[in-house]
Each structure stands twice: as C-alpha cells, then as structure tokens.
Structure 1
C-alpha cells in the first residue's frame, strides 16, 4: 500500500485531528465548539468512525490554518509553524 493511501485511511485522519486538538490544549467539546462542530461529530472524526467531509474540513482549515493535504494525507508542508512544532511527525 502506498504511503499516500495509508495516510488517508480513517484511523490516520482521526489521529491527525486528535494531535491537532491536543496541540491546541483543548478538550473535544471546546475544540468542536471553536470550529463549529458538535462534540459527537468531532469524536467520530477523531476515532476514525467517520471521515470528516469537505465542508467541515474547509471550516477547520479556516479556523486553525491547517491544510486539506495535512488533514487527508499527512502532508506537513503547509502546517502553521506553531502547529508543526507541536505535532509530532508520523512514522
């Protein structure tokens, strides 16, 4: 399996979303409110139960500065410096 496909599975996407929230130092409910989602939806995204759809992903990008490439594929090149320093690189 290619790295791109492996990085785009639900578990990998959810893990990146969790790392981002933790970098902000927020609980799920606080972070979900900040980005305009319900806590239940955010929990489903973080746990890999559902893939974050483009509308919510665009909202997340607008609020936090992350990129769609990072959310869906793990490409760190467009991460804001503060987040890039706080989020560990994927192995």
Structure 2
C-alpha cells in the first residue's frame, strides 16, 4: 500500500508503543489520548502483573466500580488482591 506525503496507517506509531511497552510510554500515550495525567505507579503495577487492588483501580479511574473491575480482571486471568485489608473484590 502506498501513502501520500504525511499519510500513514499508524503502524509505526502503534508498533513503537507496543515494542517499548514501558509505563512511561503507555502513560504518555494515554495522557495524549485522554487529555489528563495518568498514574505511572498504577500503570507500572499493572505491567508488572501486581494483583489488582483498590489503590491501583482508584488511581486509574476513581469512579470505577471495584467489584465490576475485579470481575473483568479475573475474566482476563489477571490477579486480583483478596478482600482483607480493604482490597478489591472477593477472594481470589
């Protein structure tokens, strides 16, 4: 496929983000897209596979329903912290 001057299919941009995969790169992209700061510590925790907890969910979306988010995470086989100590969802 050929593109005119200044045109692109976006593959270069998307591949660069996927290849980098750092919290910094993902946050920069999300901040550009959403127009507000993104909590780098929360993104880094997700990338590291740290069990999802109230702090991480709240840092990324303070209005998110914690139980719904935990259920969705479990559906994707993402670890979720157990309820003791005020963390999200039911037992893992």
What TM-score results when the alignment is normalised by the length of structure 1?
0.29
- Tell me which structure has the larger Cα radius of gyration: 2
Higher helix share: 1
